[in-house]
Amino acid sequence: MPSPVIDLRSDTVTKPSAAMRRAMHDAEVGDDVYREDPTVNRLQDRAAEIFGCEAGLYVVSGTMGNQTAIKVLTRHGQEVICEERCHIYNFEMAMVAVFSGVLPRTIRAADGILTWPMIAPYIRARNDHRARTGLIELENTSNLAGGSVYPLEIANDIVDRAHAAGLPVHLDGARIFNASVALGRSVAELTKKFDSVMFCLSKGLGAPVGSLLVGSKEFIEEARIVRKMLGGGMRQAGVLAAAGFVALEEGPPRLHIDHANAKFLAQGLAEIPGIKVDPSKVASNILFFDVSGTGLAAQEISKRLAARGVLANASDPQTIRMVTHLDVDRRGCERALRVLREVVT
Ligand code: TLP
């Protein structure tokens, strides 16, 4: 029997577990646009409880959650300050411009971690010549910066000072549970100062579909309207939310395994000739490694890996990303390392 494919392209690729499928089968449903889906309501209430917020809103995807929050918190013609490699700027189809009519004001920061002194010079209040700042956005963990984690004091300092300047702060917490595990602090602690938080059920937590926005009642009421504008009123969405509920309860306690596997991969990769990676930088479940020393293009390596049953995407001509998750165990990681060594030597 051929070995199963080791899919390290993303933590979005996980398949629903047996418990999730059972919960989906058994889910009580209603029309969620009328707020009558008991399973969606239960998921939203539980998310709000875990994050210590007033309310939650189930959305189709992380992208929908981020873009909904940005729309609620900004006005056309403003700027959003964010890190240069963030998801809202690089992977959300220019929706900040298309939908909210705002301009990303990007700042490059080491490891994707902004600090207040980096942000402060870019904040513009009312001005006759330049667009006003409307929002600050942070990403934790930072995907393109290699799953790096915001130190709590740095994130809190940014939010406190932004508030003092009259600015809201949105958190793209697609992988905030990974940050929570890496720091040993609860997600409520990591996010309590933010005006809005988006987190994904469909990444490391393992659900097939869905993300949540959490925040104040007032913010979530506005977000409901924007979600509807985006076509995100899903009706009997309880069949999906049921899987999300299982992910929210069962996902977080096992994320440390993915972090250990990512570290293990990085340590193994560092020993392969021509590959450059710093295992000490791997803080969660994402790693990027440089393949330029192998003499092969990242795309070519990715193709050769795929032919041998290991999937990992090139993120640029000399870099490959690997993401660990619940459908890849330690043996899978060992095999990925073996195959990679064969492919490049
Ligand atoms: N990230 C995906 C791709 O879009 C790159 C991945 O494979 O990592 N915020 C962050 C930090 C994300 O990494 C992602 C997805 C999203 C938002 C968007 O979530 P979805 O895919 O549910 O819209």
Query: Residue 92: CB within 6 Å of ligand 1?
Result: no
Distance from residue 62's CA to the centre of ligand 1 (Å): 6
pLDDT of residue 128: 86
Query: Residue 202: CB within 6 Å of ligand 1?
Result: yes
Pocket test for ligand 1, best of 142, 203, 324 (most atoms within 8 A of CB): 203
Beta bridge partners of 276: 290
Contact 240, 233 (CB under 8 A): no
Beta bridge partners of 136: 81, 169
Query: Residue 200: CB within 6 Å of ligand 1?
Result: yes
Query: Residue 63: CB within 6 Å of ligand 1?
Result: yes
Give the mean pLDDT of 243-263.
98
Query: Does the pLDDT of residue 50 top 90, yes or no?
Result: yes
Query: Residue 211: CB within 6 Å of ligand 1?
Result: yes
Of all protein residues, whose CA lies closest to atom 19 belonging to ligand 1? 62
| pLDDT above 70 as % of the chain | 99
Query: Does the pLDDT of residue 186 top 70, yes or no?
Result: yes
Q: Has domain 18-250 been given CATH number 1.20.58.710?
A: no
Closest ligand 1 atom to residue 61 Cα is 22
For residue 266, give both structure tokens. Answer: 């990085």
Asked if domains 18-250 and 254-344 share a fold, the reply is no
CATH (residue range 254-344) = 3.90.1150.10
Pairing of strands 211-215, 55-59: antiparallel
Render pLDDT for 298-313 as a digit per residue (tens, 0 to 9): 999 999 999 999 999 9
Domain spans, the chain:
18-250, 254-344
Query: Residue 244: CB within 6 Å of ligand 1?
Result: no
Closest ligand 1 atom to residue 139 Cα is 11
- In this prediction the pTM is 0.98
Render pLDDT for 146-176 as a digit per residue (tens, 0 to 9): 999 999 999 999 999 999 999 999 999 999 9
Query: Residue 139: CB within 6 Å of ligand 1?
Result: yes
Query: Residue 236: CB within 6 Å of ligand 1?
Result: no
Contact 3, 329 (CB under 8 A): no
Query: Does the pLDDT of residue 273 top 80, yes or no?
Result: yes
Q: How confident is the model at residue 3 (pLDDT cuts 50, 70, 90)?
A: confident
Distance separating alpha carbons of residues 237 and 227, to the nearest angstrom: 14
Query: Does the pLDDT of residue 42 top 80, yes or no?
Result: yes
Query: Residue 178: CB within 6 Å of ligand 1?
Result: no
User: How far from chain centre, in Å, is Cα 261?
Assistant: 19
Pocket test for ligand 1, best of 11, 13, 83, 87 (most atoms within 8 A of CB): 87
Distance from residue 50's CA to the centre of ligand 1 (Å): 22
Closest ligand 1 atom to residue 202 Cα is 22
Distance separating alpha carbons of residues 344 and 336, to the nearest angstrom: 12
| pLDDT above 90 as % of the chain | 97
Distance from residue 131's CA to the centre of ligand 1 (Å): 28
Give the mean pLDDT of 7-15.
98
Query: Does the pLDDT of residue 107 top 80, yes or no?
Result: yes
Query: Does the pLDDT of residue 340 top 90, yes or no?
Result: yes
Beta bridge partners of 286: 323
Q: How confident is the model at residue 61 (pLDDT cuts 50, 70, 90)?
A: very high
Helix or strand run (H / E) with residue 277: none
Closest ligand 1 atom to residue 60 Cα is 22
pLDDT of residue 89: 98
Distance from residue 164's CA to the centre of ligand 1 (Å): 30
pLDDT of residue 4: 87
Give the mean pLDDT of 40-56.
98
Of all protein residues, whose CA lies closest to atom 18 belonging to ligand 1? 62
Q: What does residue 288 show for φ and ψ, rounded to 5 degrees? A: -115, 140
| End-to-end CA separation in angstroms for the chain | 27
Closest ligand 1 atom to residue 63 Cα is 23
Q: Where are the beta strands (DSSP E) in 174-279?
A: 196-200, 211-215
pLDDT of residue 219: 98
Encode 171-207: b = buried (16+ Cβ within 10 Å), e = exposed: bbbbbbbbbbbbbeeebeebbebbbbbbbbbbbbbbb
Closest ligand 1 atom to residue 86 Cα is 11
Distance separating alpha carbons of residues 196 and 190, to the nearest angstrom: 12
Distance from residue 175's CA to the centre of ligand 1 (Å): 9
Query: Does the pLDDT of residue 1 top 70, yes or no?
Result: no
Encode 311-339: b = buried (16+ Cβ within 10 Å), e = exposed: bbbbeeebbbbbbbbbbbeeebbebbbeb
pLDDT of residue 252: 98
pLDDT of residue 264: 98
